[in-house]
Structure 1
Amino acid sequence: MSAITLSGVGYYKPRTARDRKMWRHLRKFCESEPQAFGRNAETGHVTGSAFVMSPDMKCVLLTHHRKLDRWLQLGGHCDGIADVPFVALKEAYEESGLSRIKPLSGQVFDVDIHEIPQTAKDRAHLHYDVRYLFQAEAGEIAVSGESHTLAWVPLDRLQEVTESPGVLVLREKLALFLSGGA
């Protein structure tokens, strides 16, 4: 399947049945929901995430998310900004403390739609999470207020810190990307 574009999100080339299903749902949501890039828990919303790789591409930077109490990639809400690649990079800088991060591709790396559990403040809702691939170039990591901690996790040990299919998908997608297939 050739690359497809979606305004505010960018280009994506779905490779698997999972990819096609996620992209189809994201497109339908963005086309039908006027507040797709807002923060409405009633409808769900688009979020932007960053898989930030180490300079040697052997580790990914994960955050132990304070509210969700899980290891996840960096990222966050668009808060009305309909430029998801920008949001993903902004969140990567804010949550990592790194001083230089470079995009490794101009395309969407992955799409993952998942439910965020109910909190005292919000009802359970969907995050239409659009992920991009980056590489750390300079700086030391520093924990933000949104995290318990940060860690460079070796790709071959990813399953030791998370069972999340939305994070574990990184390994197969990265292998394809590095082989020139993405």
Structure 2
Amino acid sequence: MNMMDLIKAYKPFNEQEKKDKEMILKCIDTFKDILTRENEIAHITSSAFVINKNKDKVLMVHHNIYNTWSFTGGHADGEDDLLAVAIKEVKEETGVKHIRPITLDIFSLEVLPVLGHTKKGKYVSAHLHLSICFLMEANENDELIVKKDENSDVKWIPINQVIESTNEPHMKKVYRKLIDKIKK
């Protein structure tokens, strides 16, 4: 299923997802370069909420730019297989080798604000990440490796400590929603 069909087929979990799905679809219709960072206003990113087999821990990275614990993810960079992008990002950012999607469907979607920041010596203006998130399971015994150009740490965080692990108020809401969805 292509990206557009996958997003259109997604059933929103709550009002936030309903409104964000509408905005993501509008951006896809408006911008031809939505899959690349060439679109400096908004672009597609693919994220993964990675849990262990017991569903009591979440694999998170300490993000250098945001200076907080975060789920894994990255830019689509022209790729429309967003599940493949999410898996690639988990492996690159954490070092885990044994990872599998719990479902091939989108688990969550959000429009996330990105504040202006400096990356690799260049200023990046504030913009939006149109985040497509997948639920995955990884082996918590795999060796974890820090990707130093993006993260300063990587670890399994108990699921009941994930919300307090971030200092971004908008992400506390996202993680609370993701955890609620897992519990259902």
Q: Using structure 1 for the length normalisation, give the TM-score.
A: 0.87
Deviates more, 1:34-43 or 1:67-76: 34-43
Q: 2:127 matched to which residue of 1?
A: 125
Match of 2:47 in 1: 49
Change in 2 beyond 3 A, CA 1:168/1:41: farther
- Letter of the structure 1 residue corresponding to residue 181 of structure 2: K
Q: Note the residue ranges of structure 1 that are not aligned, 5 or more in a row.
A: 177-182
Contact 2:109/2:130 (<8 A) preserved? yes
Equivalent residue in structure 1 for 2:32, among 31, 34, 46? 34
Which letter does structure 2 place at the counterpart of 1:147? N
SS in 2 for 1:133: strand
Task: Give the secondary-structure state (helix, strand or coil) at the position aligned to 1:6.
Answer: helix
Residue 160 of structure 2 is aligned with which of 131, 135, 156? 156
Whose helix proportion is higher, 1 or 2? 2
Is the 2:6–2:105 Cα contact (8 Å) retained in structure 1?
no
Q: How many residues align?
A: 172
The percentage of aligned residue pairs carrying the same residue is: 28
- The whole-number CA distance in structure 2 between the counterparts of 1:150 and 1:34 is 35
Q: For the Cα contact (< 8 Å) 1:101–1:134, is it kept in 2? A: yes
Shift of 1:67: 1.3
Q: Distance in 1 between matches of 2:64 and 2:164?
A: 19
Whether the aligned pair in 1 keeps the contact of 2:33 and 2:39 (CA below 8 Å) is: no
TM-score normalised per structure 2? 0.86
**Counterpart code for 1:144:** K
